[in-house]
Structure 1
Amino acid sequence: MTDARADKPDHPEGAAPPSSALSPNQVAPSGPAASPSPPAAPVPSPALDNLTLRPARTTDAGAVGAILSDYTDHTPWLPRLHSRAEDIAHAGLLIDRGWTRLALVDDVIRGFLAREGAQIHALYVARGWRGAGIGARLLRGAMAECARLDLWTFVANDAAQRFYRRHGFAEARRTAGENDEGLPDILFSWRSARETAHG
């Protein structure tokens, strides 16, 4: 969907790809509408009738890590900095911290969002399921629980930027690549109407 990354010094996954020395603030690129990979067959809307959201469990780390790895494998501009095993370990870390909410269709994990307070560390949707509304459901769930949200996405991730703007996020600042990947990125912020009205 987008690459919400918390690899900034002032951030807490976003879901940066794991590494043996992964800091708690690292996060990998992600996203529901974000992958430039070849489009898969569109998912029929009725599939979302069977969409459920739930907190991730330790046993979900393999499936979550596989979504992270697949995104990296199919995103030509994104360098692979971590092994698939490290992606699974990183997914386990996000889950163990209680930050991860899953989207399942017919009991199969199709996406996830990792959030620590107002900081979204990661939002990914499995290839073949992007554009079906899964990322939007995960994001709306976070918006319902918070008065404000912040996340990072790469400048190269046009689809993610469009997705977040559609959901009311605004660009707060840019960097020339102050992240592990060395890629230019953007901080997006969202404030609820009530939060905006109170200052």
Structure 2
Amino acid sequence: MTTLPEIRRAAGADAAAVADVWLRSYTAALPTVRRGKSDEEVRAYIARVVVPLRETWIADSEGEVVGMMVLGDGPLLSQLYLDPAWRGKGLGDRFVALAKQRRPAGLELWTFQVNTPAHRFYLRHGFTEAERTDGSANEEREPDIRYTWTP
């Protein structure tokens, strides 16, 4: 972890490593949240949908994927996950800066209400809380918060 990871677009060959980061990060950051998909379903979804069809970015540290970000249609920042060993090292800041560059008109994202470190992170980056839900619209059935950023 001595060199700064390169942030680049994900390629098909990265899909398994992207899924590994997603799974490690979710497990570490959200231990009380029931996942809507099994490990196998997550891996298949990332390989078949996320990497080939979405604007997927990865942080590559000497050939190892240590972070991932997915931008959806319009202003949606749909996923941002870091390998637990890379949290607090500025990598998330770099991903958010890239998201703002790619979506200069504004961004929105959802995070679970129990994920208080994410709340602090997004507030620090200028996002504001726009809405809270009971989670009935997400596959995890977990209460969540929608944050928005407007330049």
Unaligned runs of 5+ in 1: 1-42, 193-199
* Structure 2 counterpart of 1:51, one-letter code: P
The share of aligned pairs that are identical, in percent, is 34
Measured after TM superposition, the shift of residue 127 of structure 1 is 1.3
* Structure 2 counterpart of 1:72, one-letter code: Y
1:149 aligns with 2:107: yes
Cα distance in 1 for partners of 2:25, 2:65 equals: 15
Measured after TM superposition, the shift of residue 107 of structure 1 is 2.6
Partner of 2:12: 58
Cα distance in 1 for partners of 2:26, 2:4 equals: 27
Partner of 2:144: 185
Q: What is the aligned-residue RMSD (CA, Å)? A: 1.4
Measured after TM superposition, the shift of residue 135 of structure 1 is 1.0
Pairing of 1:25-174 with structure 2 (within 5 A): 47=2, 49-74=3-28, 75-92=30-47, 93-116=49-72, 117-146=74-103, 147-174=105-132
* Structure 2 counterpart of 1:104, one-letter code: D
Measured after TM superposition, the shift of residue 112 of structure 1 is 0.7
Instruction: Give me the TM-score of the superposition, normalised by structure 2.
Output: 0.90
Higher strand share: 2
Measured after TM superposition, the shift of residue 73 of structure 1 is 3.0
Q: Is the 8 A contact 2:22 2:82 kept in 1?
A: no
Q: Counterpart of 2:84 in 1: which secondary structure? A: coil
Measured after TM superposition, the shift of residue 106 of structure 1 is 2.0
Higher normalized contact order (CA 8 Å, seq sep 6+, divided by chain length): 1
Q: Counterpart of 2:45 in 1: which secondary structure? A: helix
Cα distance per residue 1:152-176 (max 9 Å; x no partner): 0000000000000000000011101
Count, aligned residues:
146
Cα distance per residue 1:24-62 (max 9 Å; x no partner): xxxxxxxxxxxxxxxxxxx6xxx3x43211100111110
Q: 1:100 to 1:170 in 2, by over 3 A?
A: same
* Structure 2 counterpart of 1:164, one-letter code: Y
Higher helix share: 2
Cα distance per residue 1:148-199 (max 9 Å; x no partner): 000000000000000000000000111011211111100000011xxxxxxx
Measured after TM superposition, the shift of residue 90 of structure 1 is 1.7
Unaligned runs of 5+ in 2: none
Q: 1:142 to 1:72 in 2, by over 3 A?
A: closer
